[in-house]
Amino acid sequence: MSFSTWHEFLYMGGHYLYVWSSYGIGVVGIVITLVRPLLARRRFFAEQAQRLRREPNSAEVAPDASRSS
Amino acid sequence: MNRLKTLWHRLGSPRWFFEISAPWAIGAIIVGLIGIVVGLAWGLAIAPPDYLQGNSFRIMYLHVPAAILSQSCFILMGLAGAVLLIWRMKLADMVVAAAAPIGMVFCVLALLTGAIWGRPTWGTWWVWDARTTSMLVLLFLYFGVIALRQAVPREETAGRAAAILAVVGMVDIPIIKYSVDWWLTLHQPSTFKLTAAPSMPPEMYLPLLISVLGFYTFFAGVLLFGVGNEILGRERRTQWVGELVRSRAS
C-alpha cells in the first residue's frame, strides 16, 4: 500500500485535482462505452416487438434474402 | 486450410456470427471490467509514487491503455475497411460501424487525461508537438468515419466511403507511434517495448499491464456486442430475428 491514511490517498500528494478528475473522466468514458450498446439493444427489441404486435401477419423473409435487396 | 475456408464463408453469415459471439461478448465485458478495476485500483493505491512526478503519474494507468486502444481500434477499422473494399464482406462493414464510436471515446479519454497529466508535469495543458497533434488528427479521423457513415444516405456507399477513410487514415498510426522518436517532444517514449525490458520497476508496470489487458478485453466484448446490434438491425426483417424478438417479448 502506498498510502497510510484515507486522507493521504485522497490528497494524492497535492495532485488530487489532476488524478481524481482524470479518473472521473475515465469512469464516464467506460460507462458511456458500456451503456450505449446495451441501451441500443434494449431499444431494438422494444421497437421490433411493437412492430410485430402492430403487424402480426407481416411476411418475414428467409434468413438470407435481406442481403440481396 | 479447408477449415479456414469454411470459417471464412461462415463469417459471411450474420446469424451464425451473432449466435456464436453473443456469450463471448458478455464474458469479455465482465472479465475486462474486472481487469480494469484491478489494474486501476492497484495503480491508484498500491503502486509506489514516481520519484520525479509524485502521485500525478498515476494518471498513466488510465492514459496509456486509452491511448493504445484508440490506436489499435483504428488499425482494426482500417483492416476491416480493406476487407470490405476487397471482398465486400458485410461483417467487415459492421465492425467499422461498431468500432468507430468506441475508439472515439477512448481517443477523447487519452487526449483529456493527457492534458490533465500535462498540467502538473509539463506546466501546460497542451503543446502542439508531434505526439499530441497526431493524436488530435486521429480524433478527427474518428469524427470523419462516423460522419461519413451518417451523412451518406445509401448504406452501401456510406460503408465504402468510411472504409476508404479508415484505410487511408491508418497512415496516422505509425506517425503517432514514432513521433516521440522522430521529433523533439515533451512526451516521454513508450513504456512497453517488445524488444527490451520495461523502463519501470515491476511494482509500477504490472498494474499497467493488467489495466491494458483489461481495457483490450473490455473493448473486444463491447465491440462484439456492438457488431451484434448491427447484425440485428440489418436482419430485422428476417425470420430468425423475428423469432428472437418474440421469445424475448413473451
pLDDT in tens, B76-113: 999 999 999 999 888 999 999 999 999 999 999 999 99
* Conformational region of residue B88, where left means phi above 0, alpha means psi within -120 to 50, and beta covers everything else: left
User: pTM of this prediction?
Assistant: 0.90
Nearest CB among B117, B222, B235 relative to A33 is that of B222
Confidence grade of residue A28 (pLDDT, cut at 50, 70, 90): very high
The answer to the question of residue B119 being in a domain is yes
Cα B159 to Cα B185, B236, B246, distances in angstroms: 37, 19, 30
Helices (H), chain B: 2-10, 14-41, 60-87, 90-122, 130-151, 155-169, 172-182, 202-234, 239-249
B58 vs chain A: nearest CA distance in angstroms?
A: 7
pLDDT at B250: 72
C-alpha cell of residue B203:
511494482
**List of chain B residues with pLDDT < 50:** none
pLDDT at B232: 95
Residue extents of the structural domains in chain A: 20-53
pLDDT at A57: 66
B86 vs chain A: nearest CA distance in angstroms?
A: 18
| Chosen from A33, A43, A53, A67 to mutate, greatest number of chain B CBs within 10 A | A33
The answer to the question of residue B173 being in a domain is yes
Query: Cβ separation of A22 and B112 shorter than 8 Å?
Result: yes
Closest chain B residue to the Cα of A58, Cα to Cα: B237
pLDDT at A68: 42
| Chosen from A1, A2, A50 to mutate, greatest number of chain B CBs within 10 A | A2
pLDDT at A66: 47
Instruction: State ipTM.
Output: 0.88
The answer to the question of residue B106 being in a domain is yes
* Domain hosting residue B95, numbered range: 57-188
Query: Cβ separation of B59 and A19 shorter than 8 Å?
Result: yes
Work out how many domains chain B is built from and give that number. Answer: 1
